[in-house]
Amino acid sequence: MGHLRGLTAARLLAAAFLLSVAVPAARAQEETEHEEEFSYVVGDENGPEHWGSIKAEWGNCSAGRMQSPIDLSHERVSLVRSLGYLTHSYRPAEAAIANRGHDIMVRFKGDAGFLVINGTAYYLKQMHWHSPTEHTVDGRRYDMELHLVHESSANKAAVIGMLYEIGAEDPFLQALEPSIHRIADRQDREEAIGVVDPRRARGRASVYYRYVGSLTTPPCTEGVIWTVVKRVRTVSRHQLELLREAVHDVSS
């Protein structure tokens, strides 16, 4: 469900906090959804170190200069008060849950609301979980990362990343557990689950990291605005194991 592909220190300096950089914008729908096309296992013939050579259109995965995920090192972080409080206008919406083989995803069928960044509205399209985290903080990798994926009317992508460590149950995941059980072991299975309230994911924050990077799965398209919430939340060991076992990820 997660991988260790990331940026070198030089690449981090090139990517972080450059919101005005001119790069092609990534679309939220561009993520590859079929696990058999790539692997997270280092050393596999289609593992992270080979993503860029599997398909020509995946070249950014190896040659890109603004690739995600990155290590959010406090030595390189700049405090920018003008970014303001991270707020959103989410609302309950019809949704479906899918087992993509490499992760569990909730896809919104209705209008789930939006997030505003630099005056642009980015509409919530889907959310999915990675374990362990893709982003690290000062080299530390946490137990789980939730991605809330948004897209603007101009097809530009923005993602909120939320980090979790083992502890108390996550209420949002708890409500989804029956649905996750139903699609466990059923790769490429998607089923409607009725109305889901994304506000229960508690995505608001006063302190967060922001940088321009890429999609973290092929085609690794650059131009994604990343917002990683600094506050670390909790998820129970049972919930983490449920997510991993549903996609046959039994790694520790």
Domain 9-246, classified CATH 3.10.200.10, yes or no: yes
The torsion of the CA quartet 44, 48, 52, 57, rounded to 10 degrees, works out to: 100
* Rounded (5°) CA angle 147-40-169: 40
Of the residues 3, 34, 88, 102, only one is catalytic, namely 102
pTM score of the predicted model:
0.85
Which two three-digit tokens encode residue 55?
A: 């398909």
Domain boundary assignment for the chain: 9-246
Render pLDDT for 179-188 as a digit per residue (tens, 0 to 9). Answer: 999 999 888 8
- The answer to whether residue 74 is catalytic is no
CA–CA distance, 62 with 214 (Å, rounded to integer):
12
User: Which of these, 34, 150, 159, lies nearest to 99 by C-alpha position?
Assistant: 34
Low-confidence ranges of the chain (pLDDT < 70): 1-36, 250-252
Check residue 42 and give its pLDDT: 83
Instruction: List the beta strands (DSSP E) in 59-189.
Output: 71-72, 88-90, 93-99, 104-108, 113-117, 120-130, 136-137, 140-141, 144-152, 157-166
Render pLDDT for 66-87 as a digit per residue (tens, 0 to 9). Answer: 999 999 998 888 888 888 889 8
Check residue 178 and give its pLDDT: 97
Check residue 123 and give its pLDDT: 98
Which two three-digit tokens encode residue 173?
A: 């995941």
Given the DSSP bridges, would you call strands 71-72 and 136-137 parallel, antiparallel or unpaired? parallel
Check residue 204 and give its pLDDT: 83
The alpha-helical segments, DSSP class H, found in the chain are: 9-15, 51-54, 60-63, 171-183, 237-246
